[in-house]
């Protein structure tokens, strides 16, 4: 598998990392934003894709250890399932999540239980280990809030529909919006 198949810089300041979920390209993606306060990730994917995430970050010329900020659009396992494991590996990082989703990242018991009803004995194969995120490392984000990270400004936009806790992040300087699953599911060509 060529892990760098879809991983590339979209602009000089925004990298796309194809997480090759279950060995398939263009299924789950994460975005890398270099800042003066370390790297920011938008989405982290499930734990089963952490190797691809780390390889993708390296292929973009950076190191996973430099990630300081993990922003998720929503807490579904394909977007945020690795958050707890990732933050255990990155003791300096914080997780940014909507206030409705935050309790489920701090205590994922109900999230895991709900997903297990759907995925059954495929939970581990699909999503891997799901760990809680320490409450003191969770940054709660609300509608229209400005998230300032190392010289970058992202505006959080509450976008319920796909999930009641869904938010998009508008990078006003780059003139891009990271929409998660609110506008459909597609990794750009």
CATH number of the domain to which 121 belongs? 3.60.15.10
Structure tokens at 24: 């398939």
- 57 pLDDT exceeds 80? yes
Residue 87 counted as domain residue? yes
As a whole number of angstroms, the longest Cα–Cα distance in the chain is 44
Can you give the chain as a three-state secondary structure string? Answer: CCCCCCCEEEECCEEEEECCHHHCCCCCEEEEEEEECEEEEECCCCHHHHHHHHHHHHHCCCCHHHEEEEECCCCCHHHHCCHHHHHHHCCCCEEEEECCCHHHHHCCHHHHHHHHHHHHHHHHHHHCCCCCCCHHHEEEECCCCEEEECCEEEEEEECCCCCCCCEEEEECCCCEEECCCECECCCCC
Dihedral sign, Cα of residue 109, residue 111, residue 113, residue 119:
negative
Residue 183 confidence class, pLDDT cut points 50, 70, 90: low
Quickly tell me which residue has 């990155």 as its tokens.
Answer: 90
* % of the chain surpassing 70 pLDDT: 92
Residue 172 counted as domain residue? yes
- 182 pLDDT exceeds 80? no
Residue 1 confidence class, pLDDT cut points 50, 70, 90: very low
Residue 166 confidence class, pLDDT cut points 50, 70, 90: confident
How confident is the model at residue 3, as a pLDDT? 45
- What is the rounded distance in angstroms from the CA atom of residue 94 to the CA atom of residue 105? 12
125-156 exposure pattern, b = at least 16 Cβ within 10 A, e = fewer: ebbbebbbbeeebbeebeeebebebeebebbb
Residue 184 counted as domain residue? no
Residue 108 counted as domain residue? yes
Residue 165 counted as domain residue? yes
- What is the rounded distance in angstroms from the CA atom of residue 157 to the CA atom of residue 19? 25
What is the span of the domain harbouring residue 107?
Answer: 8-178
Residue 2 counted as domain residue? no
Residue 186 counted as domain residue? no
């Amino acid at each position: 598998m060529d892990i760098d198949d879809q991983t590339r810089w979209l602009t000089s300041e925004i990298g796309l990392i194809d997480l090759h979920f279950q060995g398939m390209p263009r299924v789950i993606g994460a975005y890398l934003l270099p800042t003066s306060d370390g790297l920011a990730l938008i989405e982290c994917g499930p734990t089963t894709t952490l190797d691809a995430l780390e390889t993708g970050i390296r292929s973009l010329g950076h190191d996973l250890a430099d990630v300081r900020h993990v922003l998720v659009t929503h807490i579904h396992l394909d977007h945020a399932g690795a958050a707890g494991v990732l933050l255990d590996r990155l003791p300096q990082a914080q997780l940014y999540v909507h206030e409705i989703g935050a309790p489920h990242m701090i205590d994922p018991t109900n999230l895991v239980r709900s997903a297990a009803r759907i995925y059954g004995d495929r939970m581990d194969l699909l999503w891997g280990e799901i760990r809680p995120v320490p409450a003191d490392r969770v940054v709660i984000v609300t509608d229209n809030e400005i998230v300032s990270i190392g010289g970058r400004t992202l505006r959080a936009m509450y976008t319920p529909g796909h999930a009641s806790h869904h938010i998009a992040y508008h990078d006003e300087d780059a003139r891009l919006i990271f929409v998660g699953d609110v506008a459909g599911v597609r990794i750009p060509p």
